[in-house]
Amino acid sequence: MTETGTVSETPWLDQDGQQPLVQIKGVTKKYGEVTAVDNVDLDIYQGELFCLLGGSGCGKSTLLRMLAGFEDLNGGSITIDGVDMQGVPAYDRPTNMMFQSYALFPHMSVEQNIAFGLQQDKMARSEISNRVHDILTLVELQDFKKRKPQQLSGGQRQRVALARALVKEPRLLLLDEPLAALDKKLRKQTQFELANIQEKVGVTFIVVTHDQEEAMTLSTRMAVMDAGKFKQIGTPTEIYEFPESRFVADFIGSANVFEGRVTEDGADHVRVKTNVAEVFIDHGQSVKVGSKIWVALRPEKIRITKTDEPASGPNQVSGVVDDIGYLGEMSIYKIELPNGQIVDITSPNSSRPMNRQHRITWGNKVNIAWEPSSVMLLTA
Amino acid sequence: MHGKRSRFLTIMLVLGMAFFYVPMVLLVVYSFNYSKIVPVWGGWSLRWYEVLFQSEEVWMAVSLSLKIAFVNATFATMLGTLAGLAMVRFGRFRGRTLFGGMLVAPLVMPEVITGLSLLVFFISMKQLVGWPEQRGFATITIAHITFSLAYVAVTIQARLTGMGEDLEEAAADLGAKPFKVLTAITIPRLTPALISGWLLAFTLSLDDLVIASFVTGPGANTLPILIFSRIRLGLRPDINALATIMILVIATCVAIAAILMFRQQRADLKDQQLAERGES
């Protein structure tokens, strides 16, 4: 396996003049009238675990299939490792793919499935059996090597599929919804396992997923896709804390959005007049005074206090508790503001309620407040 | 009420089964009849089996029929598989719809039309290029391939569509070139469909009377042609004996198929149990 000691944690920043491993330039794919992938650009660097996140039909799988060589491009170019992939068939590409259905060969044993790719390279028998042995150890399936795929559980099949794709030590591993077929509990375990394996082998991963939690857990960087275009590309933190549009803010996690107009644009602060309150933001952002803008707040970044309790800070609004969802570790409050808008707030239940009574309940008048730094300003 | 209902069902079942099987039972019974006149009972005897086994004409017909059926099934399976692959795996190509339509046309074409057109074709061929000089094994086989091919193509097409392309793409992704994908993945996955397609073509050929009658020539009698021509001169007990043997052969084949299927089901069940145990 490749030596990984020197690989950077943030390869897209520390490029050292290195070429990106994958260069996607102006790639377009059309099916008749429908544009599945619409003129997208993306660079992915060696060692990344990059997630393509989006709803069904957003074009993420099509993009992955174009990288693998299963679909032709209608425009643009894909370069992998400095080589233009135009006209290079799937069997000659330095990529391997893990299919959503796993696509294990049912007439071959686990061992034969994994050896298949190595046999195509005319590798020596002893070398093949060594490599198969090593990869089976990595995914902990040695005891199952003689079994047929249909004699394995879902989780085991998933690991065989991963092993089969990894054993050829591709430059780039493409994973199409790698965890979608597993049940919830197994999926959570496997997320971390997958990230660990990627770190161990040092292969660049591109993962397609519709599950935002999966993308957040796995990825070094991710791209949010919609209608064939990238809405935003960044680290999970960047995407969650600094979304650029209402679509991204709402697609990743949830957000309370207020429409407003910029009233003041200072070097170190912005003020926005919305229909519920004037919002103060303590960081500068290049916006035009008087322009239409959206202010978004994450539910967990809003504090909730009863009106008779003291509250402080510049950003405060009063409201009435409309509904409460008690989830155990936290509660979701739905607060109705004077203008009728409902705001979602989540609050950890960090102490046990006194006398089995919650502090805040239905119909209570409350104040909600948030830090000036937590406000996300969205221009689209 | 329940008792009455089930008695009604039982009667219908018995009548239905009788409708199917009484004729066959009669045939089998009469094959052991000593009397030369079929419907007159003359006591049990194996006399007609003896006559049958001594008749060279019958054995020649059996052997011709089997030869034609074998060659036909083999070629029809190969060509039908290629046609099925073209329909399902080649994507959209010019004339695909037309090709698909023409491929299945023999299924709906009346046999007399198929037979007649083939006869006209063979006669014109003889005038134009001097072949086939005489109609017989070759012409019947070609005629059979033309219509069995359609059945095989449909079987293969259905199987290919059901299989999806994932496995073939996975093999290509792992570095297998198209021909390797075909031999290592597609063909093994198609094996059940290939076997059933082959058997179907074999049976169709063995069974065919109409088309074979059109394109056969002097001295080339397939089994159905022989049986039919003899029956035209009146029912004959040795033909009953022949039919009985055929029923026996077919029943044996069906029984073997059933046993194999039952075994496969048990193996699948075992696999499933193994998989579930691994889940924990």
Asked if this assembly's ipTM is beyond 0.95, the reply is no
Q: Is the alpha carbon torsion for A160, A164, A170, A174 positive or negative?
A: negative
Contact list, B271 vs chain A (CB under 8 Å):
148, 150-151
| Mean model confidence pLDDT for chain B | 90
B88 and chain A: CB distance < 8 Å anywhere?
no
Residues near A284 by beta carbon (within 8 Å), at least 6 away in sequence: A265, A266, A267, A268, A269, A270
- Indicate if the pLDDT at residue A237 is higher than 50: yes
Indicate the pLDDT class of residue A4, thresholds 50, 70 and 90: very low
Q: Which of B172, B275, B278 sits opposite A91 (nearest CB)?
A: B172
Q: Which of A99, A103, A117 sits opposite B175 (nearest CB)?
A: A117
Which of helix, strand or coil describes residue A135?
Answer: helix
Contact A151 B176 (CB under 8 A): no
> Looking at residues B237-265, what average pLDDT do you find?
89
Indicate the pLDDT class of residue A15, thresholds 50, 70 and 90: low
CA distance A241 to A228: 24
| Alpha carbon of B60: minimum distance to chain A alpha carbons (Å) | 42
Which residues 41-80 of B are in CB contact (within 8 Å) with A? none
Query: Hey, what amino acid is at B117?
Result: S
Indicate the pLDDT class of residue B278, thresholds 50, 70 and 90: low
Per-residue pLDDT of B156-204, as tens digits, reads: 999 999 888 999 999 999 999 999 999 999 999 999 899 989 999 999 9
Q: How far is CA B153 from CA A234, B68, B115, in A?
A: 51, 19, 20
Contact B169 A147 (CB under 8 A): no
- What stretch of H or E contains A292? strand A292-297
Contact list, B192 vs chain A (CB under 8 Å):
none
C-alpha count within 13 angstroms, C-beta hemisphere, residue A269: 12
Assigned token pair, B1? 């009420």
Indicate the pLDDT class of residue A271, thresholds 50, 70 and 90: confident
A43: left (phi over 0), alpha (psi -120 to 50) or beta: beta
Helices (H), chain B: 2-31, 47-54, 56-89, 96-108, 111-129, 137-163, 166-173, 178-181, 187-207, 210-215, 223-231, 237-278
Assigned token pair, B163? 């299989």
Q: What is the pLDDT of residue A311?
A: 66
Q: Which of B166, B173, B274 sits opposite A101 (nearest CB)?
A: B166
Q: What is the pLDDT of residue B118?
A: 94
Q: Which of B167, B173, B180 to mutate to test the interface with A (most CBs of A within 10 A)?
A: B173
Q: What is the pLDDT of residue B215?
A: 95
| Alpha carbon of A274: minimum distance to chain B alpha carbons (Å) | 52
| Alpha carbon of B189: minimum distance to chain A alpha carbons (Å) | 8
Contact B278 A95 (CB under 8 A): no
A101-115, A271-285, B147-161: which range is least confident on average? A271-285
Q: Which residues pair with B174 in a beta bridge?
A: none
Q: Which of A61, A62, A107, A121 to mutate to test the interface with B (most CBs of B within 10 A)?
A: A107
Contact list, A148 vs chain B (CB under 8 Å):
271
Higher-confidence residue of B206 and B39: namely: B206
- What stretch of H or E contains A305? strand A302-306
Per-residue pLDDT of A331-362, as tens digits, reads: 999 999 988 889 999 999 888 887 777 788 88
Q: What is the pLDDT of residue A289?
A: 83
Residues near B110 by beta carbon (within 8 Å), at least 6 away in sequence: none
| Alpha carbon of B90: minimum distance to chain A alpha carbons (Å) | 13
Q: How many CB pairs under 8 A join A and B?
A: 78
Place of tokens 């005891």: A143
Residue spans of the domains in chain A: they are 22-246, 254-378
Q: Which of A70, A120, A144 sits opposite B169 (nearest CB)?
A: A70
**In the CATH hierarchy, which top-level class contains the domain A22-246?**
alpha beta
Q: What is the pLDDT of residue B237?
A: 86
> Looking at residues B128-136, what average pLDDT do you find?
90
Indicate the pLDDT class of residue A5, thresholds 50, 70 and 90: very low
Contact list, B274 vs chain A (CB under 8 Å):
147, 151-152
Are A18 and A68 in contact, with CB atoms under 8 Å apart? no
B182 and chain A: CB distance < 8 Å anywhere?
no
Per-residue pLDDT of A61-80, as tens digits, reads: 999 999 999 999 999 999 99
- Indicate if the pLDDT at residue A308 is higher than 80: no
Indicate the pLDDT class of residue B264, thresholds 50, 70 and 90: confident
Q: How would CATH label the architecture of B59-234?
A: Orthogonal Bundle (1.10)
Q: What is the pLDDT of residue A7?
A: 56
Per-residue pLDDT of A129-152, as tens digits, reads: 999 999 999 888 999 999 999 999
| Predicted structure pTM score | 0.83
Chain B: residue whose CA lies nearest to A172: B173
| Alpha carbon of B167: minimum distance to chain A alpha carbons (Å) | 5
Q: How would CATH label the architecture of A254-378?
A: Beta Barrel (2.40)
A141-145, A298-302, B2-6: which range is least confident on average? B2-6
Q: What percent of chain A has pLDDT over 90?
A: 55
Q: What is the pLDDT of residue A149?
A: 93
Q: What is the pLDDT of residue A2?
A: 42
Chain B: residue whose CA lies nearest to A116: B174
Q: What is the pLDDT of residue A307?
A: 79
Q: What is the pLDDT of residue A69?
A: 94
Q: Which of B175, B177, B271 sits opposite A150 (nearest CB)?
A: B271
Q: Which of A80, A105, A175 to mutate to test the interface with B (most CBs of B within 10 A)?
A: A105
Q: Is the alpha carbon torsion for B262, B268, B271, B276 positive or negative?
A: negative
Q: Which of A210, A164, A12, A91 is nearest to B182 (CA)?
A: A91
Q: Which of B173, B175, B279 sits opposite A68 (nearest CB)?
A: B173
- A interface with B, Cβ–Cβ < 8 A, is 68-70, 89-92, 95-97, 99, 101, 103, 105-107, 116-117, 120-121, 144, 147-148, 150-156, 164-165, 168
Contact A91 B268 (CB under 8 A): no
Q: Which of B166, B188, B271 sits opposite A99 (nearest CB)?
A: B166
B266 and chain A: CB distance < 8 Å anywhere?
no
Contact B176 A144 (CB under 8 A): no
Contact list, A120 vs chain B (CB under 8 Å):
174-177, 180
Contact list, A68 vs chain B (CB under 8 Å):
169, 173
Higher-confidence residue of A201 and B18: namely: B18
Q: Is the alpha carbon torsion for A182, A186, A190, A192 positive or negative?
A: positive
Contact B173 A154 (CB under 8 A): no
Chain A: residue whose CA lies nearest to B178: A91
Chain B: residue whose CA lies nearest to A182: B279
Q: What is the pLDDT of residue B261?
A: 87
Contact A152 B278 (CB under 8 A): yes
Q: Which of B166, B177, B275 sits opposite A153 (nearest CB)?
A: B275
Q: What is the pLDDT of residue A206?
A: 95
> Looking at residues A196-216, what average pLDDT do you find?
90
Contact list, B187 vs chain A (CB under 8 Å):
none
Q: What is the pLDDT of residue B2?
A: 55
Which residues 159-178 of B are in CB contact (within 8 Å) with A? 164, 166-167, 169-177
Contact list, A153 vs chain B (CB under 8 Å):
275-276, 278-279
